[in-house]
Amino acid sequence: MNTVGRLMQIIALVLLPLAMVMELTGGLGQRGLSQMLKMMIFGVLLFYTGNYLQSIPGPKQK
């Protein structure tokens, strides 16, 4: 779970600036602001879900 959580956090950290750059360059079209906000909310949720998954302790080693 640690690796999955870390991967989700990295994807979220790439998604947030990508949403802002796409809005600034006009890559999201006329409804850019709403699309950017949706991408940012998804990124924040993805980051916190990854953080939660990363904090779950793994199986105990003998």
The per-residue pLDDT for range 22-39, each reduced to its tens digit, is 888 888 788 878 888 888
- State the pTM of this model: 0.80
Q: Yes or no: say if 47 and 12 are a contact pair by the CB < 8 Å rule.
A: yes
**What pLDDT sits at residue 46?**
95
SS3 58: coil
**What pLDDT sits at residue 32?**
78
**What pLDDT sits at residue 31?**
80
